[in-house]
Amino acid sequence: MLFATLFMGRRSIGELPIFYFLILLAFGAVVEADIVDLKIPHTHTGIAIVASMV
């Protein structure tokens, strides 16, 4: 998320609709849970992200 924010810039982040911003936060939470808990298989995280994009 930090790299995405730095790449897009503050103005671009401010112009995002609130729905898309919340989706980005949800993606961050899913990825964070996968990184922190080593018992969660990476495939489950990938499936969750792909399923939410559909």
Q: Is the pLDDT of residue 5 over 80?
A: no
Total count of residues recorded for the chain: 54
Question: Looking at the whole model, is its pTM more than 0.85?
Answer: no
Tokens of 22: 């919340």
**Mean pLDDT value of segment 9-34:** 80
Q: Comparing C-alpha atoms, which of 19, 23, 49 is closest to residue 34? A: 49
Residue ranges per domain, the chain? 2-53
Evaluate whether 31 touches 47 at the Cβ level (below 8 Å).
no
Evaluate whether 26 touches 48 at the Cβ level (below 8 Å).
no
Can you tell me the distance from the alpha carbon of 7 to that of 3, in angstroms, rounded to the nearest whole number? 6
**Mean pLDDT value of segment 2-18:** 72
